Amino acid sequence: MGNPGDILGAGAVAGEPEKKSKSEEPAKKKPSPRVLGGVAFVLLGGGIGIFFFVSYLDVDTAKDKSFLDQKYAEVDLDMLHREMSPSSPVLMKEVFLCHPVLILNSNIKGLEEIQGEVEKRKKSLRGDILAALYRKPEIFFRRPDLMTRVSDLFLYELNTSLGLLADGKPIISHIVFSEFEAPPR
Residue 114 reports pLDDT greater than 80: yes
Domain identity same for 155 and 123: yes
Is 18 part of any domain? no
Residues 21-60, buried b or exposed e (16+ Cβ, 10 A)? eeeeeeeeeeeeeeeeeeeeeeeeeeeeeeeeeeeeeeee
pLDDT on residue 70: 58
Domain identity same for 60 and 84: no
Domain identity same for 41 and 115: no
Is 5 part of any domain? no
pLDDT on residue 50: 83
Is 162 part of any domain? yes
Residue 175 reports pLDDT greater than 80: yes
Domain identity same for 138 and 110: yes
Domain identity same for 63 and 78: no
Per-residue model confidence as pLDDT tens digits over 125-144: 999 999 999 999 988 988 88
Domain count, the chain: 2
Is 109 part of any domain? yes
Domain identity same for 59 and 99: no
Domain identity same for 63 and 83: no
- Decide: pTM greater than 0.75: no
Residue 20 pLDDT class (50, 70, 90 cuts)? low
**Which position has the higher pLDDT, 23 or 79?**
79
Instruction: List the domain range (segments joined by +) for residue 41.
Output: 24-69
pLDDT on residue 68: 45
